[in-house]
Amino acid sequence: MTSRLWDDDEHLLEELAEALRSAGPVSERMRAGSEAAYTWRRVDEELALASIAYDSLLDTELLVRSAAGEAHRIVLFEAGSVSVEVERNGASLVGQVVPPERGEILLEGAGGRAVRVPIDELGCFCIDDLPPELVRFRCETPTAHLVTDWIRL
């Protein structure tokens, strides 16, 4: 299985075949979802992209400590000096935008669902019925115009 054998055409082709088999069958739903992702392309929008800076799900130290049923999850998105922290508890979610300012959160689901909620003067917002699909948050305040990475919470 060393790559030295790749100098030989037969070996290289056989290992490529094995690599392709390791991918397994690609379902039509997978392909459709992948191609449809392009419809979410943003055109001419001046929005900062807030990436995931922290996810309690991937925090190994935390998992060791609270392995007994992680009932809630905390995710932090950051774009420059603005951050959006969300905490999911079952199907409900609370979040906070920092620095705090009044504004609006638009939760977008990859399946087309959209939920609009206000951000209060402390930067806080609540969503009661989190859709079980990939979502992202658009955040509009007087100073912050951002959209987060997609995530399934």
Interacting residues toward another protein by CB under 8 A: 1-4, 6-7, 9, 12-13, 15-24, 26-27, 29-31, 33-35, 37-38, 40-43, 49, 55, 57-58, 60, 63-64, 67-70, 73, 110, 134, 149-152
Nearer to another protein, 59 or 120 (CB): 59
User: From CA 85, how far away is CA 97, in angstroms rounded?
Assistant: 7
User: From CA 51, how far away is CA 137, in angstroms rounded?
Assistant: 11
User: From CA 98, how far away is CA 91, in angstroms rounded?
Assistant: 23
The minimum distance between CB 128 and another protein, in angstroms, equals 20
Eight-class DSSP state of 42: -
The minimum distance between CB 86 and another protein, in angstroms, equals 14
The minimum distance between CB 85 and another protein, in angstroms, equals 17
Nearer to another protein, 12 or 126 (CB): 12
The minimum distance between CB 119 and another protein, in angstroms, equals 22
Nearer to another protein, 92 or 102 (CB): 92
Helix (H, G, I), strand (E, B) or coil at 38: helix
Helix (H, G, I), strand (E, B) or coil at 116: strand
DSSP string, 68-99: S---EEEEEEEETTEEEEEEEETTEEEEEEES
Nearer to another protein, 120 or 149 (CB): 149
